Each structure stands twice: as structure tokens, then as C-alpha cells.
Amino acid sequence: MNETPASDQEIEDAIREYHEARAEEGALAARAFASVTVEEGIAKVVYGAALSETETRDWLSERSIDNLAEFASVPLAQATPESTRMRMSTVRVETELADGTPLGSLENAGIRALNSLER
């Protein structure tokens, strides 16, 4: 297994690809995805104005998603070598609207806790 921490670009790509795939499946929160940047272990995921639509808020509520960082962190919370490498590089995932309104954040321990992962 490759124990080298993932690059910022690898983490950005994984989060972007996850949102693209989920958007194709109809996930409304993923359709509101605008951008992702990773710098010094902090992934910032930005969502567009579509997220404020009632339909999207209902979708989040139906899935008991209060902290959008839980949704954005899914590609990092898997029991795979790739996800493990990404967690080695990630301090926190932050989510916000394009206007800067926070939508939640998740520290590395919280990301691991999503799937009861040890590291």
C-alpha cells in the first residue's frame, strides 16, 4: 500500500469527481457544487445559490444532513488505500455558500468517524 500522503490536487479531484457523479445521480446538493480548493490540509468546498432553494434544503433534511461537510467528505471517508492517503493530508473539510455563509466543517477525526475508520 502506498503510504505517501495525497497531494492537494488529488484531494480536489476526488471531491470534484464525487460531486459530479452524485449530481448525475440526482443529488441536489451535488448539483449546487461550485468549487473546491485544498491548501495546507484544509479543503474548502463552495456551493452555489441553488443550495438555498427549498427543494435542495428538503433533500438535505430528508437525508438528515445538518453539516454539509459530511456530504462533501464522503470520498475521504472510505476504507480504501486512496481515501487513507487523502485523510493523511487532510486537516479539515469546510463547506460554505458562494457568499461565505458557512454550511459546516468536519475535522479529520470526524471524517474518520463517518465510517468508523481508525486512520
Along the 119 residues of the chain, how does pLDDT read in single tens digits? 568 999 999 999 999 999 999 999 988 888 889 999 999 999 999 998 766 667 666 766 776 777 899 999 999 999 999 999 999 999 999 999 888 888 899 999 999 999 888 77
Is residue 12 in some structural domain?
yes
Number of domains in the chain: 1
Give the burial class of 93: count Cβ atoms within 10 A of its Cβ; 0-12 exposed, 13-18 middle, 19 or more buried: buried
Q: Which one-letter DSSP state was computed for residue 77?
A: S
Is residue 78 in some structural domain?
yes
Is residue 109 in some structural domain?
yes
Assign 3-state DSSP to the chain and report helix, strand, coil percentages, each to 5: 50, 20, 30
Q: State pTM to two decimals.
A: 0.88
Q: Which domain holds residue 50?
A: 8-113
Is residue 2 in some structural domain?
no
Question: Domain with 26 in it: what CATH number?
Answer: 3.30.300
Is residue 32 in some structural domain?
yes
Is residue 69 in some structural domain?
yes
